[in-house]
């Protein structure tokens, strides 16, 4: 009997030990069920908005993301004042005029752009003196024609001379389909621009003169006891919008240059010839929202860092570091980043000397075989000629690397 009890007790202990051991084991991890591959998210075409012509531009790169008739010449109406603003800002930056200058309101400014006209006005008094800063606010916020004319006369001596200055700056900015005849945008023969050119101008204003650009976000301005509101309806509808300028005449229709910033991205929308005030605002906002939703910006390369170090002949150094002057940014449809391809066009034979900043080749970025960015490849350092014997030795060696004698430098 005792033997049986001891045997049963031993079995119980064994069962307990086994049970404990089993309880302490880690169960195998479940094998996850493979998920089906997700289809690539499509990017829809841009919205069909009201306007004879329009452009959606990415500010960071200057790329045109979507457009309709971008190079068709149109009357710019008061969008003209964006260029007047740019020229005045540039002349201030160059020290030729100053924000504190007192500006006399001439009879021409008073009669052609004042309260007696059917255009927008700042209600400036004849022969009064107004600080330049107040004229700038009046022109940008109230779209005052009298303020624009007074600024032009003060800056260049006459409105005609100022128009020549406007066209000189336009050429400098690459506005190839633009010609200005006055500072206000009042209808006149041979005064025209395009949606693309106005986008170029808008981007330049934001980049070159951010403090002056900020005036276009001010919602109202009071002068001579009269308070007027900014005509850009988007300033009240969307707090990411901070500019730029409205325009309207019977011939031009309703026009709007608008810009908005979300995070690190900024979009510029130019709408020309919309049917009414609300339609131009709706169109510009729809375009910018489309850009923010379906496009993204990537930095591909850092500025002033070597991308290539090709062989340099007849120089003090044996290699020439090449790179780009500024960061290379591209804006593409969401999901297209991995499709980008970059190549460098560099001459097969590089012979010293080269100077720092000199273009040597071209960096080309493409998407599905279509060009996205062409950026100059520059020398990142001076590369002077080597000594006599170094040049002689390289001349001999070049005979073995070429079927014909290379050009001397």
| Among the listed residues 209, 295, 197, 205, the one whose alpha carbon sits nearest the alpha carbon of residue 255 | 197
pLDDT band, very low/low/confident/very high, at 14 (cuts 50, 70, 90): very low
Question: Edge to edge, what strands does the sheet with 370-379 contain?
Answer: 322-323, 370-379, 359-367, 340-345
pLDDT band, very low/low/confident/very high, at 39 (cuts 50, 70, 90): low
Q: Is 143 designated active site?
A: yes
- Tell me the per-residue pLDDT of 113-140, one tens digit each, with 9 for 90 and over: 987 787 899 999 999 999 999 999 999 9
- Tell me the per-residue pLDDT of 218-247, one tens digit each, with 9 for 90 and over: 999 998 888 999 999 999 999 999 999 999
Please, what is the average pLDDT of the chain? Answer: 89
Active-site residue among 53, 67, 78, 202? 78
pLDDT band, very low/low/confident/very high, at 97 (cuts 50, 70, 90): very high
Q: Is 78 designated active site?
A: yes
Cis peptide before 298 (omega within 30 of 0): no
- Tell me the per-residue pLDDT of 48-70, one tens digit each, with 9 for 90 and over: 999 999 999 999 999 999 999 99
Q: Is 112 designated active site?
A: no
pLDDT band, very low/low/confident/very high, at 33 (cuts 50, 70, 90): low
- Of 26-30, 164-168, 254-258, minimum mean pLDDT range: 26-30
- Tell me the per-residue pLDDT of 161-180, one tens digit each, with 9 for 90 and over: 999 999 999 999 999 999 99
pLDDT band, very low/low/confident/very high, at 21 (cuts 50, 70, 90): very low
Query: What are 192's two structure tokens?
Result: 């025209």
Distance CA 362, CA 325 (A): 12
Q: What is the pLDDT of residue 194?
A: 98
Domain ranges of the chain: 53-296, 302-401
Q: What is the pLDDT of residue 137?
A: 97
Compute the chain's Rg from CA coordinates: 33
Helix axes 80-93, 132-141, angle to 10 degrees: 150
Active-site residue among 143, 193, 202, 216? 143
- Tell me the per-residue pLDDT of 370-391, one tens digit each, with 9 for 90 and over: 999 899 999 999 999 988 887 8
pLDDT at 1 over 80: no
Residue matched to tokens 């300028």: 245
pLDDT at 181 over 90: yes
CA quadruple 148, 152, 158, 163: dihedral, nearest 10: -100
Instruction: State the chain's maximal CA–CA distance in angstroms.
Output: 132
Go through 169-197 and write b for each residue having 16 or more CB atoms within 10 A of its CB, e for each that does not: bbeebebebbebbbbbbbeeeebbbbbbb
Q: What is the pLDDT of residue 407?
A: 45
pLDDT band, very low/low/confident/very high, at 13 (cuts 50, 70, 90): very low
pLDDT at 261 over 80: yes
Rounded percentage of the chain residues whose pLDDT exceeds 70: 88
List of residues 6+ apart from 180 with CB closer than 8 A: 80, 83, 163, 166, 167, 170, 191, 193
Give yes or no for a contact between 100 and 135, defined as CB atoms under 8 angstroms apart.
no
Q: What is the pLDDT of residue 210?
A: 97
Active-site residue among 53, 68, 81, 259? 81
C-alpha distances in Å from residue 401, one per residue of 309, 350, 353: 18, 12, 19
- Tell me the per-residue pLDDT of 278-333, one tens digit each, with 9 for 90 and over: 999 999 999 999 999 999 999 999 999 999 999 999 999 999 999 999 999 999 99
C-alpha distances in Å from residue 12, one per residue of 45, 88, 362: 76, 99, 84
Asked whether this chain's domains 53-296 and 302-401 adopt the same fold, the reply is no
Give yes or no for a contact between 347 and 360, defined as CB atoms under 8 angstroms apart.
yes
List of residues 6+ apart from 252 with CB closer than 8 A: 74, 75, 76, 77, 187, 272, 273
Q: Which CATH architecture has domain 302-401?
A: Sandwich (2.60)
Q: What is the pLDDT of residue 24?
A: 46
List of residues 6+ apart from 242 with CB closer than 8 A: 213, 214, 216, 217, 235, 259, 260, 261
Q: What is the pLDDT of residue 192?
A: 98
Q: What is the pLDDT of residue 12?
A: 44
Number of residues assigned to the chain: 409
Which SS3 state, helix, strand or coil, does residue 30 take? Answer: coil
Q: Give the class (CATH, top level) of 53-296.
A: alpha beta
């Amino acid at each position: 009997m005792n033997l049986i009890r001891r045997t049963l007790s031993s079995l119980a202990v064994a069962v307990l030990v086994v049970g404990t051991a089993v309880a302490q084991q880690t169960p195998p991890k479940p094998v996850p069920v493979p998920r089906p591959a997700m289809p690539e998210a499509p990017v829809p075409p841009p919205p069909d908005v009201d306007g004879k012509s329009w452009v959606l531009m990415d500010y960071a790169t200057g790329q045109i993301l979507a457009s309709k008739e971008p190079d068709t010449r149109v009357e710019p109406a008061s969008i003209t004042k964006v260029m007047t603003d740019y020229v005045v800002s540039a002349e201030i930056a160059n020290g030729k005029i100053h924000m504190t200058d007192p500006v006399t309101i001439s009879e021409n400014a008073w009669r052609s752009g004042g309260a007696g006209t059917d255009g927008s006005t700042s209600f400036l008094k004849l022969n009064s003196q107004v600080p330049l800063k107040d004229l700038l606010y009046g022109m940008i916020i109230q779209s005052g024609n009298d303020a624009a004319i007074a600024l032009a006369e003060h800056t260049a001596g006459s409105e005609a001379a100022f128009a020549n200055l406007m066209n000189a700056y336009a050429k400098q900015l690459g506005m190839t389909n633009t010609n200005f005849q006055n500072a206000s945008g009042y209808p006149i023969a041979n005064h025209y621009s395009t949606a693309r050119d106005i986008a170029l101008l808008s981007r330049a204003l934001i980049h070159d003169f951010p403090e002056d650009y900020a005036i276009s976000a001010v919602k109202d301005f009071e002068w001579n006891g009269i308070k007027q509101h900014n005509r850009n309806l988007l300033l009240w509808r969307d707090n990411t919008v901070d500019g730029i300028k409205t325009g309207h005449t019977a011939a031009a229709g309703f026009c709007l240059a608008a810009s908005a910033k979300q995070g690190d991205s900024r979009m510029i929308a130019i709408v020309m010839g919309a049917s009414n005030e609300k339609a131009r605002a709706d169109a510009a906002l729809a375009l910018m929202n489309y850009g923010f939703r379906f496009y993204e910006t990537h930095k591909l390369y850092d500025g002033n860092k070597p991308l290539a170090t090709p062989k340099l002949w007849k120089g003090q150094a044996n290699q020439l570091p090449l790179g780009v002057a500024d960061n290379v940014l591209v804006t593409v449809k969401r999901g297209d980043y991995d499709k980008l391809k970059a190549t460098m066009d560099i001459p097969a034979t590089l012979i010293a000397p080269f100077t720092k900043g000199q273009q040597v080749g071209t960096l080309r970025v493409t998407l599905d075989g279509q060009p996205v960015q062409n950026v100059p490849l520059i020398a990142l350092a001076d590369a002077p000629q080597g000594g006599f014997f170094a040049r002689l030795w390289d001349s001999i060696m070049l005979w073995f690397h070429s079927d014909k004698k290379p050009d001397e430098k």
